[in-house]
Amino acid sequence: MHYRSKSRLLFEVFNYAAFGAFTLLILFPFANAIAISFSDFQSVSNGEVRFWPKGFNTASYELILTNKYFLATLGNTIFLTLVNTLLTIVLALAAGYALASKHMVGGKVLMNFYLIPMYFTGGLIPFYLMVQNLQLGETYWALILPVVVNVFYIIIFRNSIANVPAELGESAEMDGASDLVILFRIIFPVISPMVAAFVIFSAVTFWNEWFNVLLFISDMKKSTLQFWLRGVLTRTFDPFQLFGRDTLVNYRANEMAAAIVTILPVVLIYPFLQRFFIHGIIVGAVKG
């Protein structure tokens, strides 16, 4: 039987109690939001709903799931998340592979070139003017081109590729393999757990994108789901435009339903992909 000292037992009790309390603090707001979203007009208006729905109904979800702006922004968000994640990871892998290659001339100079933008930026106004001068405003390119180069990812991939045994690439090169073959068929399987972790990071980031929409997009049908949700929660837009003219549903219930629907895909997918984080972070911690 494994012996544990009193101090160890006390620490474990405190540890579990602290994490249990922290978990409850996180879950209570979600439970309250879900309860409000499924409650009727009168119960929400009177502030009677806490953690369980009163006058159960699904009217708020029916309004949202049939709303043309919700459907349009959902489609835009899925499209932009897939495209931006794919481009970000592929470009970071390619740049990291090039910087780690012994054939790269001036690799250290290029590394410094990549590092500078991590610490110094031109600022919001020059960024806005650049995008507008390139005539990207009111197009999806304004939500794609400015965000697909991630210097942090490039540096991490470069360090990971540099730690892959050089003999693997050299033997493939002697057999006539091109750089693309070496990268995607030899090196990629070795660092795939890290790549998977950064795919998740990128997908969550792009799923939550709204700020560039605020800067460059005025057409609601071209905006993202999070920008639509921002309009719902801040009541920036006409509520009838957002939900239709239905006076039987409390607007607060609509807000909570909109928030739940927006985060639901991430909440459902995240637990199944969480295992990639630990392996990816461990691999990324190896110094290059």
CB atoms within 10 A of CB 52: 12
Residue 135 region, left (φ>0) first, then alpha (ψ -120 to 50), else beta?
Answer: left
Q: Are 54 and 43 in contact (CB under 8 A)?
A: yes
CB atoms within 10 A of CB 9: 10
Q: How confident is the model at residue 67 (pLDDT cuts 50, 70, 90)?
A: confident
What pLDDT score was predicted for residue 287? 44
Q: At residue 107, does pLDDT exceed 50? A: yes
- Interatomic CA distance for residues 59 and 253, integer angstroms: 9
What pLDDT score was predicted for residue 232? 84
Q: What angle do CA 29, 33, 37 make, to 5 degrees?
A: 170
pLDDT digits (tens, 9 = 90+) for 110-151: 877 878 877 777 788 889 999 999 999 899 999 999 999 888
Average of pLDDT values for 92-116?
A: 82
Return the C-alpha torsion angle 27, 28, 30, 31, nearest 10: 110
Q: Where are the domains of the chain?
A: 1-57, 68-217+276-284
Q: Which residue has the higher pLDDT, 124 or 241?
A: 124
Q: What is the residue-averaged pLDDT of the chain?
A: 83
Average of pLDDT values for 172-181?
A: 79
Average of pLDDT values for 151-168?
A: 85
Backbone angles phi, psi at 73, to 5 degrees: -70, -30
Fold of 68-217+276-284: MetI-like fold (1.10.3720)
